[in-house]
Structures are given as C-alpha cells and as structure tokens.
Structure 1
Amino acid sequence: MKNFIGLQFFLLFLLPITMLGQTPKKDLAKLTYDELKKSFWDNERTPKKQLEYANAYLVKAKEENMPIEKARGCFLLSLVLVSENDKALRYLDSAIVYTKDLNDTKYPAYAYSGKGYVYKRQFKYKEAINNFLIAENIAKNNNLDLYYDTKFSIATLRSEELGEVNEALYLYKQCFNYYKNKKIRTPEYSYSYQQVIFALADAYKALNQTDSATYYNKLGYWESNFTKDYEINALFTLNEGANLVLKKSYKTALDSIKKALPKMIFYKNNGNILASYFYLGKVYDGLNQKDKAVRNFIKVDSLYNVNKRITPEFVSGYPYLISYFKKNGDKENQLKYITKYMFIDSILQTNYKELTKKLQKEYDTPNLIIERESLIESLNNDKIKTYWGLAILFIITILATALALYQYQLKKKYRSRFEKIINKSDELIENQDVNSEVKRIKTNITKIEDIGIGEELIKLILAKLNRFEKENGYLESNITVQMLSTTFETNSKYVSRIVNVHKGKTFVQYINDLRIEHAIIKLKENNKLRKYTIQALALEFGFNNAESFSTAFYKKTRIKPTYFIKKLDVV
C-alpha cells in the first residue's frame, strides 16, 4: 500500500505553477511557459496531449535559447515517456547538461531525482540510489524542500524494494520533523507532509508496531480530510484496515477496506486495488470464510497478470491458494498456482527483493519442487497435460532445481565461513593452506634482504607497529601511512615497505584487516553492537561509510557483515 508515493519529485515541479485558467488549444507557440506547464498538468490523464504541450515547451525554449527552460521541457517529456525508460533517461541527461553550471535551485537536482525514479522502475537499485544521492547532495545547499523530498525517495526505495524498513524509518522521521514545522495545510506542503505520514504508518505496520501505525493513520486521515485530498484519505483508511488485520480485528478491518476499495477503483490506483483484494482475502480467512478468501486472492493474481507488478507483501496469497486447492483435490489449480508462485519468487529474487521468513518456512523452493514433480506425474497419468506442456514444466523444474541447489551451496559456504570465524579465537582464517603460508614466509625472508633498511630500524618500527595494534590506533578514521610515519618519527616509505614484507599486505589492507578483526571480536562479545546499523558500525570501527566497511568485511571473511551479525544472534 505504498504505490501513491515515489512520484513526489514530479509534484514538486508542479507546485510553483500559478493558478491560471484552462487554456484552449490554439497556437501552442504563442503560449507562455506557465501556460504550457498548466496545460500539461491539466491533461495528466491524457498522455498524448501532455506530449504535445511538452514538445511545444521544449521547442519554445530552444528557439529562445533558454537553458533552464530547455531543461524543464526535457523534464516534462521524461514524465510523459517514463514508461519508455531509455527515452526518459536521454531527456533527463539533456536536462542535466543544460543546467549543470547554472546553480539553479531546482536543476539539475530534479533531473537526477527523475533518473533515480526511472532506474527504480527498472529494478536497477544501485543506479537509482546513486542518482538520488547526487540530487540530495545538490539540493542540500540551496533547496531544503527538494533535499528532504529526495531523502524521502531514498527511504521509500530502501523500505519497499530492499526491505530495509528500520533504516527507512529513520529517514522518514527526519522528513517528518522537517515538514511538521512548515505550513502543512497549504498546497505547497500538504501533499509531501501526508506522504511522509503515510510512509511512517506503513513502516510501523511492516514492523508489526500496530499502535504506532494506527496513530499515524489517524493523523494522516485527519490531515487529508482537512485538505480534501480524497485519494490519500482513502489510502489511510485502507492502510488502517490492513493494520487492523494484524490486530485480528477482522470485522472492523472489513469495514475499512470496503470503504476504501471503491475509491481506489475510481482513482484507477491499480497497486492499491490489488492491496485491497489481498487484505480482503486475509480478513475472510480470519473470519473463517475460506471460499471468499480464495476469491479475493484469485483477484490479486488476476491483477498481477494484467499489471505484472507485485511486492513481497502481497505474495502470501499464493501459498493459501495452493493449500486450498490441494485440500479440495483440484490438482490443475494447485499446479497452476505453484507455477505462478515459483515464477514470482524467482522474479523477486532477481530484483534483489526477498520473501518474508514466514513464506520461506511455509513454501521453500525444495518442497515446492517435490510437490510440483508429484503433480506433474499425476496429471500426466491422467492425460490432463499435453506433451509440450509437460516439457515446458519439466524445463522450469530443472531450472528451479538448479537455482535451489545453487542457493543451497551458497548458504553452505557462508555457514562454513561463519563457523571458521567463530571457532578461531585470536585470528581469522584467511582461506590459505599451510603450504601457501610457508611459501609466503620464505618469500618475506628473501624480501627483507632486498628492502635496504637497517635491521635495528626494522625492529624499532615493528615494535611501534605492535604497540599501534595493541592500542587500537587503527580505529582512527582516515589513518594514512604518512600520518603513522609522522607519529613513528620515520620515513613513510620505510613503514610501507616493512608492512608489505612483514605483514604480507599493503598498508590499506593491513589497516582494514585490523579493523575487521577487531570488529569481529567486539560483535561476538557485545550483543548491543549487533543492533547498530551498518553505517553506525562502520563509524565505530574506523571506516567512513557503510560501503567501505561491508567491502572490507567481505574481503577479509568472504561473508557479508549483515549475515555475520544475523548468525551471531542465533548462535
């Protein structure tokens, strides 16, 4: 229930437009920029007309050679062509080129934010985040509204697509604290403010903190009712209905969802029409009306067939359908929904999404494959499926089996690496055998003879390095070989060479390995640290950001820090 969010940067473009009257379609070249923009947005549900106005806007800007207006024209065209990803990206890149040196309060930040949204639609989350961060960085200095709007876009991506709800919640709260001090019932801020309220309610619902979700649903309902934003108002009603399902208040939930569904249909909000049917299914299941629950979960599947978009939140209807048809001996429908469920699971995994732990426990891939093969055999014996149908199903099964085996082997490797780390008390396993280690030591002895440093100086620097390690000097962020050499009162080349020879690694690798070894010990000893975010842990252990910490951790241990922490909590 979050499909109404994510387009807010489009709306920011709309806000500065003055309240002009409807412009009749005449000679578009004679219209002003504001009139063209107004006409563009007045035809929001008519893309062909929007395309005419956007093209006219860009033509006018090029004729008058106005860089900022050329950028806006390109941006408008990207909105119309948002479903044609490559074209939209080309126009947004042009907008960036036109305005990169203008220091405008909106461009090129809008264009970078627009690119983030396009990449998000393509499931290219890394590229999306990168462009949102560029937009956020630009806006931070000259447009705080856009800065927090972009921060919100980053939060929704992390929450909806990557499942990082706690991290997103932290960002949502920052946005909420910013907007609540604005004129929240004016057109300029009401929509953004209500979006943030909805995001908070939805995040708390996802975390099963139902009382907090109810608080923000009620606040959002009140605010959207005051500003007469009826679609968002209905979304708060629907979201509270879903929240009441978690509270098992099924009758009250049913009333809320039935009130919201007609409005979702009226506004053609396909994502939340699907959400409405999903939670109706959950309600009827809670009321023990299984047939009605099945009818609603089938409607969810029908909407997926049309729109080809679904999030992990709404996938649990498929195991319900599989179980229902299995109990009723309907093998054909049982097989149909197993096939669909496995296909959606593979798509979600490809797009870096994950099914919930509950779904994984109820219908993990190996069990589905076994059940699928049994059904195929049964249907074949009954001559229900044709030869080609069985061949296709067989190929899908083979592919699914290969995927399951690959995931199993990967998990097995991770478990093995984790156990090696846990069982090693003073140092980490470096994935080197004894022979290779002996060879390295012999090589180091040979190198010592060639480095051209006196033996006494080597001993002195090694002693200082030993003290540096014992005093945890490596936890200081931004430590460099030059800084350490100054502290040691010696030449940086000497320190670098001695680290290379005696430690068998570069200076950067030496520092990072010390930090990771320290991090592993502390995470094992202190369970409070395990509750930190990856960003907070990075700073705690001397790294400047989460990415550099995660990279160094994986390079040292061959597992990700999130996996290591998760496994520590269950050891």
Structure 2
Amino acid sequence: MNNEQDKKLQLDCANAYLSKANKDGVAIEKARGLYLLGLLKQGNEAIKLFDSVIYLSKNLNDNKFPAFAYYKKGYQFKNKFQYKEAIDNFLIAERIAKSNNIDFFYKVKFSIALLRSEELGEINEALVGYKECFNYYKKKDISLPINYYPYQNAVFALADAYKALNQTDSTTYYNKIGYNESKSPKYVEYNALFILNEGANMTLKKNYKAALDSINKALPKLILCKNTDNVLASYFYLGQTYDGLGNKKEAVKNFIKVDSIYNLTRTIAPEFKSAYPYLIAYYKNNGDKTNQLKYLTRYMHIDSVLQANYKELTKKLRVEYDTPNLILEKETLIQSLEKEKTQSNWGIVISSILVVLAVGFGYYQYQSKKKHRVRFEKLMQKESDTTETIAPKTEHQDNINPEKVNTIGINEELVGQILEKLEKFEREKRFLESNITLQSLSDAFDTNNRYVSKIVNLYKQKSFIQYINDLRIEHAVTFLKEDKKLRKYTIQALALEFGFNNAESFSIAFYKKTGIKPTYFMKQIEETLKNKTA
C-alpha cells in the first residue's frame, strides 16, 4: 500500500473495497476485501477474517486465495506462540501454492523453515528448506528487488543455520556470497547482517580480534536501521568475544545490554539465552546476591515462557539449569537475602515450604515420567496388530455363543453375518475413513444401526466410538513404530492420516488407549533408535 503509516486510511479503503464487493456479489472480490481487513487486524480478529477468506475462496482455484489467507493465518498463530498451529496453516498454504503459484510456494517454504529454525530449534530440518529456496532463487534475476530480497534472505538463513551447527567454513562461504551481493548503499542493512554474522562466526573460530572488528563495524549500521533483534545479537556476540579475550567486565557490560533490550521487546532467540548463566555465574563469584537473584529470576521467566509456548529447551538449559535446580537455587538465594536483611524466622519457614514443594513437584514429575516410560516400553514390546479379536466367519456360526445372542435378541445367523462384515471392515482398514459413523457403517452392512451397536457392545466389549478409535490408535501405534517419515508429521497431520478430524481428538484417543501422549511416544521412539545406533 502507498499509505503504510496511515492505518485509518488503510482501514477505510479496505472497508470500501469490501462494501463494493458485497454489492457486486463476486466471491473472489469479497475474499480480497476480507483479506485486506485481516492484514490490518491482529490475533483472533485477524484469524476469523482469514477463515472467512478461506471459506469464500476454497473452491475458486485462484492463484492467490485461499493460499495467502492460510499463510497470514499461520503468522497470526506464530505471533500467539502457537507454533504447531502456525506450521499446520503454512503447510496447507504450501500445498495449495505448489499447484498454481510457484513463487509463493517458495515464500511459504522459507517461512516454515524459518519458524522451525528460530522458534523450535530444528536447525537440520530447516536447512533442507533453506537450500531448496536458495537453489530456486539463484536461478532468477536477482537484480530485480522482487527476487533480490528473498534470495538474500535464503543466503543469510543458510549462513546463520550453519553457524548454529558450528560448521564455520560453510558459514563463511554463504556470508561471502551475501556480503558481495549487498555492497550497494541501498542494501546497507543486509550488508551489516552479513558482517555481523561473520563476526559471530569468527567468535566460534576463536579469532576474537577479527570478530571484534566485524561486530563493531556492523553494530552502528544495525542501530541506524532500527534492527533491534540484531542489535541484541551484536551485544551478545560482543559479550562472547570479550569473554574470549579474557575481559570479563566488558563481557558483562554487553550481556547486560542484551538483557536491557529483552526487557523492552520481551523476545529473545534461544541462542542468546546463554548470556544469563554468564551473568548469574559472574555475580555469584563476586558475592553479589542481589544481581545474582535478579538475572536468575529473569532466566527462569524466559524458560517458563518458552516452555509455555512449546519451544524446545536448549541443551545448555537442560544440562546445566534444569527447572528443579533453578527453583532450588532461586529459593536458596531468597532465603539468604531475607536472612541478611531481617533475620526473620518466618522467611526461613516460608522458603523451606517452597523448597519442599519444589522437591515434591520434582518427585511427582519423576514418578510421572517413570510411569510413561513403562507404558511406552509395553507398547514397543507388544506385537503389531491393528485389529481386535473378531468373531468367527459365518461358516463357523456354531461357535457363536447362543446365550450372548439371546441377550441382545438378534437372530443368530444375522449376528454371524454382521461379525463377518466387521471382520472385513477391520481387515480393509476402513476405520481410517474420517467420516465413518454408526449409521454409515450400518448402511454399508445393509442392516439396522441398533444391531451393529449391540453386537459391537457385546462382542467388542466397548461402545462403537471407542471401538473405532481403538482400531485407529492400534493402527497408529504400529505404523509410527515402523515409519520414520510419519513420525515427522505434525499432530494435526497424523490425526487426518489416522481418520480423526482434528489433533485434539487424536491426542485424547491416543492417551485414553495407551496412557501416553503421541508426542511423547514418537520422541521416545527416536531416542531409543539413537541409543541403539550410538
């Protein structure tokens, strides 16, 4: 838009566009009008508008909609820290765009890779997407801004990902490509980013003087461009560099600047959190309990927010600062400071209670993990079998218990026929059809739904819904054990794969049947396989 700073004018234009579209009655124009409004809104309000766009345009085969709406909806979920939902919507947008808008297809692919890398810490998985985007854009005319920016974004993402994996030579390779392509004054921000990234890379190589030179060149440009996230990154790498040079005071000074920016933005990438253990250790060694507690509390808050938002904890956090230890250290500091200030017995009592609660919670977590592990091992030991024990076929009707038949008041021959059809239904795995109901199955069997319900209740010892869900979950367990690709699916995608309509119903059914969640089950399989190959 030409009026980027005038939000009111933008809103007026979008409403006028939608009003005309409603009068004309053209579905795709209505969709565009709602989409424009959605771009001006945030959160649930924007999501509802994009849902309306999707509803109006889903069957129109337009080269922009509904793919654009799914894409923007994904970003709204990302902003709400609902990363799984964000990826689900990005994947739908990617699938639609692949057939009719290849440029947009790669834009979405890049967004998925970026989310996986920066928010979920899945660097290796993201790297695959980055390479595909880079190979696509480098074949295009990058002298055109429409191609230059996504090309440079892919180059920087590759350099940054390799840096995160500590593959310093590959990092330098892509930093040089990006730097050489951004020497024009109009690309000053990109140029600064590649200089900064190579400075960070020099820190990894322990070439601290070169690192200091590069970071100090990049920082003023990034401040000028108001690139707050990378200004924070610059201070973080300066802190690491000064620490490498043995200048702890300058390192602390820069890590404190990292914290100051975090306090303003309330966002921080996982790789920069290690500034806090450094500050905690520094003030602990200097006997400054007040600052030690300050940065410990901040670090714990960051940890709790990241966990609430389904982010993966970094290895450093898991190994050095797991949550129970953080709680105990924090409470010890609080107790010590309160004792020094007031010598209050009440403070000691309260702190002790909190420690007991923390230990109790830790014990509860330990027991819970132990139970889940036992349930997982039972599932892994169980033979793969996706069907319940089924009744004999019609020719063996003499094995059908007459007493059972009498209790439900259905002809013995009919019972045998329905059991035989249930056997075929299970064998053909028709339970994976998402729209299966008692009525639709009864219609397919050419019989009464009450008969099917009674026979399932009696012979399967469960309700019809539980019968279907258990078949699906047993099938899911078997195939998740065997299929590595399947274990990379999102829960929403797995739900659809196994006949459920949404992720929640799949997770509930899985837990009810197995006593563990599907995410835990898949994670344990991967860890078991890693341990076997180690």
TM range (shorter): 0.7 to 0.9
| 2:128 alignment partner, SS class | helix
2:475 corresponds, among 485, 491, 515, to 515
State yes or no: 1:557 paired with 2:502: no
Residue 534 of structure 1 is matched in structure 2 by 488
Contact in 2 for aligned 1:444/1:502 (Cα 8 Å): no
Q: Which moved more, 1:128-137 or 1:112-121?
A: 128-137
- Select which of 344, 347, 357 maps to 2:302: 344
The secondary structure found in structure 1 opposite 2:336 is helix
Q: Which moved more, 1:352-361 or 1:558-567?
A: 558-567
Distance in 1 between residues matched to 2:196 and 2:403, nearest whole Å: 71
Secondary structure of 2:144's aligned partner = coil
Aligned to 1:568: 528
CA distance in 2, matches of 1:336, 1:305: 13
CA distance in 1, matches of 2:48, 2:343: 47
Instruction: Give the distance between the partners of 1:63 and 1:171, measured in 2 at CA.
Output: 40
Q: Does 1:316 align with 2:279?
A: no
The answer to whether the aligner puts 1:179 opposite 2:142 as a matched pair is no
The superposition leaves residues 117-174 of structure 1 with CA deviations (integer Å, 9 ceiling, x where unpaired) of: 2221121334433443443344344322222212322332233223333333333333
Distance 2:436 2:32 in 1: 48
Indicate whether 1:196 and 2:154 are aligned. yes
Cross-structure match for 1:377: 335
- In 2, Cα distance between equivalents of 1:61 and 1:562: 48
Unaligned 5+ segments in structure 1 are 1-36, 42-46, 431-442, 483-489, 524-528
- Using the TM superposition, give the Cα deviation of residue 272 of structure 1 relative to its aligned residue in structure 2, in angstroms: 1.2
Contact kept, 8 Å, 1:499 with 1:510, in 2: the verdict is no
User: Secondary structure at 1:40's aligned position in 2?
Assistant: coil
5 Å-filtered alignment, 1:91-130, equals: 104-130=62-88
Q: 1:413 aligns with which of 352, 362, 371?
A: 371
Paired position in structure 1 for 2:394:
none
Whole-angstrom distance in 2 between the partners of 1:481 and 1:87:
34
* Change in 2 beyond 3 A, CA 1:248/1:533: farther
Partner of 2:264: 306
Is the CA contact 2:385–2:474 (under 8 Å) kept in the aligned structure 1? no
Q: Structure 2 CA distance, aligned partners of 1:464 and 1:100?
A: 36
Which has the larger displacement, 234-243 or 256-265? 234-243
- What is the CA distance between 1:183 and its match in structure 2? 2.2
- Alpha-carbon distance in structure 1 between the residues aligned to 2:460 and 2:477: 14
> How far is 1:191 from its partner?
0.9
Partner of 1:40: 3
The 1:427/1:476 distance shift into structure 2, 3 A limit, reads closer
CA offsets 1:385-404 (integer angstroms, 9 cap, x no match): 99999999999989977875
Identify which of 87, 90, 106 aligns with 1:148: 106
The answer to whether structure 1 residue 282 and structure 2 residue 243 are counterparts is: no
Q: Confirm or deny: 8 A CA contact 2:408 2:454 kept in the other structure.
A: no
Contact 1:481 1:492 in 2 (8 A): no
**Secondary structure of residue in 1 paired with 2:145:** coil
1:258 paired to 2:203: no
CA gap 1:247/1:78 in 2 versus in 1, 3 angstroms: farther
Counterpart mapping for 1:439-450 below 5 A:
446=404, 450=408
Q: Does structure 2 conserve the Cα–Cα contact (< 8 Å) formed by 1:116 and 1:127?
A: yes
Q: Deviations over 1:289-313 (max 9, x none)?
A: 2222211111111111111111322
Please say if residues 321 and 337 of structure 1, whose CA atoms lie closer than 8 Å, have aligned partners that are also in contact. yes
Following TM superposition, by how much is the alpha carbon of 1:379 offset from its aligned partner in structure 2, in angstroms? 1.0
The offset of 1:356, in angstroms, is 0.8
> Do 2:405 and 2:411's aligned partners in 1 also have CA atoms closer than 8 Å?
no
Looking at structure 1, the residues matched to 17 and 384 of structure 2 have their Cα atoms a distance apart, in angstroms, of: 67
In the alignment, which residue of structure 2 is the partner of 1:439? none
The separation in 1 between residues aligned to 2:490 and 2:59, in whole angstroms, is: 35
SS of equivalent residue, structure 1 residue 565: helix
Aligned in 2, Cα 1:477/1:419: closer, same or farther, shift over 3 Å?
closer
Give the match's secondary structure for 1:383: helix
Does the CA-based 8 Å contact 2:208-2:245 persist in structure 1?
yes
Query: 1:58 and 2:18 equivalent?
Result: no
How many Å separate the matches in 2 of 1:396 and 1:309? 29
User: Displacement of 1:503 after TM fit?
Assistant: 5.1
Indicate the residue corresponding to 1:9 in structure 2: none
Read off the aligned partner of 2:309 and give its amino acid letter.
N
Code of the aligned partner of 2:515 = R
**CA distances 1:468-506 after superposition (whole Å, capped 9, x unpaired):** 99xx97699879999xxxxxxx98999998777555566
Cα distance in 2 for partners of 1:403, 1:212 equals 45
How far the C-alpha of 1:342 sits from its partner, in A, is 1.0
Task: State the distance in 2 between where 1:72 and 1:459 align.
Answer: 55
| Alignment of 1:216 onto 2:182 | no
Measure how far apart 1:231 and its partner are: 1.3
When structure 1 is superposed on structure 2, of 128-137 and 356-365 the one drifting more is 128-137
TM-aligned CA deviation for residue 563 of structure 1:
2.4
Which deviates the most, 159-168 or 263-272?
Answer: 159-168
TM norm structure 1: 0.70
Separation of aligned partners in 1, 2:406 and 2:470: 18
Partner Cα distance (1:60, 1:456) in 2: 65
Q: Which residue of 2 aligns with 1:7?
A: none
2:335–2:347 contact (8 Å) kept in structure 1: no
TM-score (norm 2): 0.74
Q: Is the CA contact (8 Å cut-off) linking 2:418 and 2:452 kept in structure 1?
A: no
Q: 1:206 aligns with which of 148, 152, 164?
A: 164
Q: CA RMSD in A?
A: 4.9
